[in-house]
Amino acid sequence: MRMTAYGESMIPFLRSGDVVTISPFNGRPPQIGDILAFEKTAANKLVIHRLIRKCEYGYALKGDNCRQSDEMVSKFHLQGVVTHIERNNKQRNLGIGKAKRWIAALSQINLFYCVHGCLQIAIKFVKLVLGIFPPRNLRFTKNERLERRDGKKD
């Protein structure tokens, strides 16, 4: 099954607008680091998060950019494993290849959540500074893009 991903919970490895291919397990049990699709019955939606821990009564999944893991997910709610990620019509393997176990470990300690939060703060700070002390030939537009006042293209 191919579908377009939405949201920020899997940044930086999966971004809103990426096209993912979800494949059946075909008898292979999910492995730590796999990005899995599961049915979140309370919200009646399909969620794509990374497997960070296995237990005898279910699986702990977590978005790489989330602070907390999801509630334990039973094998009956698992829909498949993400086997391909496409961004801008190009194949992306980062996050689903050999490094997936390391990524799962780093996700467990909230590394990606912290880094993304720090980047958001830095971006807001830069926008604030540029808003107070804008360079002479630059200004912010309504869409918060920096443009030259003289209309020249860079």
pLDDT digits (tens, 9 = 90+) for 113-146: 777 777 777 777 777 776 666 555 555 555 544 4
What does the pLDDT average to over 84-97? 83
* Strand partners for 78: 38
Domain that holds residue 17: 2-109
> Which residue do the tokens 């830095």 mark?
122
Query: What is the tally of structural domains in the chain?
Result: 2
- Please indicate, yes or no, whether residues 119 and 103 belong to a single structural domain of this protein: no
- Please indicate, yes or no, whether residues 62 and 46 belong to a single structural domain of this protein: yes
Using alpha carbons only, what angle is made at residue 64 by residues 61 and 67, rounded to the nearest 5 degrees?
85
> Which residue do the tokens 């997910």 mark?
73
What does the pLDDT average to over 85-110? 81
- Please indicate, yes or no, whether residues 73 and 29 belong to a single structural domain of this protein: yes
This prediction's pTM: 0.71
In 3D space, the residue among 82, 76, 69, 72 whose CA is nearest the CA of residue 23 turns out to be: 82
Checking if the pLDDT of 63 tops 60, the result is: yes
In 3D space, the residue among 36, 13, 11 whose CA is nearest the CA of residue 114 turns out to be: 11
- Please indicate, yes or no, whether residues 141 and 66 belong to a single structural domain of this protein: no
- Does the residue 153 lie in any domain? no
Checking if the pLDDT of 151 tops 80, the result is: no
- Please indicate, yes or no, whether residues 93 and 135 belong to a single structural domain of this protein: no
- Please indicate, yes or no, whether residues 45 and 119 belong to a single structural domain of this protein: no
- Does the residue 96 lie in any domain? yes
Tokens of 28: 């292979």
- Please indicate, yes or no, whether residues 20 and 65 belong to a single structural domain of this protein: yes
CA 61/CA 69 separation, integer angstroms: 6
Cα dihedral sign for 37, 39, 45, 50?
Answer: negative
- Please indicate, yes or no, whether residues 90 and 121 belong to a single structural domain of this protein: no
Tokens of 25: 């397990």
CATH of the domain at 29: 2.10.109.10
Looking at residue 40, what is its pLDDT?
A: 84
Burial of 120 (0-12, 13-18, 19+ CB in 10 A): exposed
